[in-house]
Structure 1
Amino acid sequence: MNPLKEAVCIFINKLFDKFNKLLYKIIFFWVKIIIKISTFGLHFQYKLKNMTRFRLLLLITAFLSASYGFSQYTDVINSNRPGESMSAFAVGKDVIQTELGAYLIQEKHDLLLSELNGFGTDVALRYGFLYDQLELIGNLQYQKGLYSNLLEEKNIEGFKKFTFGAKYLMYDPNRNYKPKVNIYSWKANHKFNWHYLIPAVSVYAGANFSGNSPFNYSIEPKISPKVMLISQNNFPGSHVFVCNIFVDKIATENPLTGYVVTYTKGIGSDWSVFLENKGVQSKYYSDSILTVGGAFLLNFNTQVDISISKNFKNTPDILYGGVGFSWRFDANYKDTLDRVPEDERIAKQKAKVAKEKKRLEKEAKKNSKGKSGIKKEKK
């Protein structure tokens, strides 16, 4: 390798290592919070045991339906592709969405003097289940490649990933929120609104079913859990920031922790570009991967995309790129109207005014008929 290129790679690798360490500190901070919440949950468990079945059912129903009627359905398709992060919002109740992709991959390991060249495909199936906030997600990734080193050359193929889980939107800052309008100041209406810094928050829980995959670094059980915390900020000007913090392959010999940070910018009504960084850390493998790409909206329910990814180390050196296609079926979706309290008050007031106006029109009509009858009698 060229000494200059090697020095640049080492510098960038160190830079990303520092960035990864900072983000892992954030991860452990969240883990501590989760542990504290879990401790409180154990203390609260005694009360749950003493609850009647009816009260417990009522509590669960109230939790699930706390934001019932809040629609996450959008006019255009909302795909997770081409990045690897998961958005906080669901597709909408009874909406089916499929996201397909194909890619080419090249890996080179300078220490092992090995190389892998191959291709793969990935499929994601998303379904809005029961509520607009709840989504069932299945992910399947299949890869085939030629692996070679100084001693051998062989084909490796199989399912690299097979996961199934559910995502639920816990909090949306824009629900029941209506920005105040200052009719006296243009500047006040166009200044930065700090409310945009409050993210939408979702949680994901699922399981891996790829225990016998030839791409695993160690022998793993057939099923292993995966959990993830998801946040999303939608800023004015079609700027979207998504952050995923996850723990994968829990209770195995090689548990995996990591993050995915994605920035997306909409360009016009059809185009969007994105920049993404993914960091992972485990017993056998740690890496940071940078991805860039874009997507084009063919119609309200169809999207195509392209992306390329690269890491900044040579153990292994990874380069892959691909194209994708997303499509949704929303014929079964029934829109649910959710008004903020102020809108409800205005709507009721308008209905009351319209009713009163109708009543006055009827009275005026009756009076006019009465007057015309009196005039005829006089004649």
Structure 2
Amino acid sequence: MVSSTRRAPAAAAERAPITTAADLPWLAEPLAQTLATQRSHALLVHGPTGVGQFEMALALARSWLCETPAGERPAGLACGRCGSCHLVDEHSHPDLRLLVPEAMRAQVGLDADDAASDDDGKKRKPSREIKVEQIRAAINFSELTAGRASLKVLVVYPAEALNTVAANALLKTLEEPPGTLRFVLASAAPQALPATVRSRCQSVPLRPPPADQALAWLESQGVAQAGVLLAASGQQPLAALAHHQAGLDGASWLALPTRVAAGDAGVFANWPLPQVVDVLQKLCHDRLLATLGLAPRYFPGSTVPPGDLARLTAWAAALRRHARSAEHPWSAGLAIEALLVEAHAADFTRGPSAPIHSRP
């Protein structure tokens, strides 16, 4: 059972970052291929959350900035030993700029700064957007003479966090980059970027690793019941590792459907509201699969009962609405109780009121 005092599993963006792409074996092939086929000054690395877009972006920057002669580096990969590689790993290379939202600085290994303060010095909630002021500062950075390399690199992560004004400000620099500036935009939702931005970038798709490779890697990280947590994360190994590091185990995950059916709000104690909504969406998805006679995707081996198709479809629509506002500062406890009431209203504890094929 999930302890009521257990921390929520960390979201993919809230995990401690993996040090380099070398820690993620499934990135080796796309990294080498990208370095061999690069034809643009701007790359858009995209794929599902939790497969390593940020690590891939840093690996590209590391390879471009590496000071070891290219002939001594197979496939153009970074040597990992020179001063430049060390500075990239420490996020302190003078010719590399990382653009991330204020709320994610610590999560990607950057020092927190005083950006989350108003002009009058009052503290405010760190922004989850990449703002135009950051883009302007990056443009100023790009116009300076390179500190120790022959080029400069700008990494934007997650690129979908660019607000409209920031994206428009970035567009001009993407069209006419100063000097030898290179861009890597890393995104889990490239469709959220303006088409004008996407069209100026070379696409670098990332896919989840094969299940056997992901399981072997998770087991090497000390994850027990790796298959359950991999399924819970939608086959995203970094998200599965984050669940494990936050204290969620396979047995606790598989117990969630039963505890939600019982209306046990304590199962989500200390969970951020967006993650509660995400879990309920996964549970609703699996209940829809069960209703259609299919195997569950996110709760393998767990008892996920079938239900009424119309009620479950309505519940899925309600959860999508909740997902859009889950970051708002509601009372989390009351919101979670309301979500469980909705789950019960979706006929969670009962079977279909009539066979699906006989419904009008």
TMscore range, shorter length: under 0.3
Query: Which structure has the highest helix share of the two?
Result: 2
Query: Which structure has the highest strand share of the two?
Result: 1
- Higher relative contact order by CA 8 Å / sep ≥ 6: 1 or 2? 2
**TM-score, normalising length: structure 1:** 0.23
**TM-score, normalising length: structure 2:** 0.24
